[in-house]
Amino acid sequence: MKRAVDEGVDMSAAIKSFDAGAFAHLLNAAELMPGNASRVYLELERE
């Protein structure tokens, strides 16, 4: 997400391109990832 924000990538595109494979084993990862990723993106935008 940091790279996406720094490069001006649209949030939607950044979320779609995020490789969440390392977290796939976690319970509800697929359902929670989009929301978590968008929150991180927005937090990084404010920095």
Instruction: For residue range 3-37, list pLDDT tens digits in order.
Output: 999 999 999 999 999 998 999 999 999 999 999 99
The total domain count for the chain is 1
The pLDDT, as a whole number, for residue 8 is: 96
Contact 38, 5 (CB under 8 A): no
Q: Print the domain residue range for 36.
A: 2-46
CB of 4 within 8 A of CB of 14?
yes
Cα distance between residue 45 and residue 31, in whole Å: 23
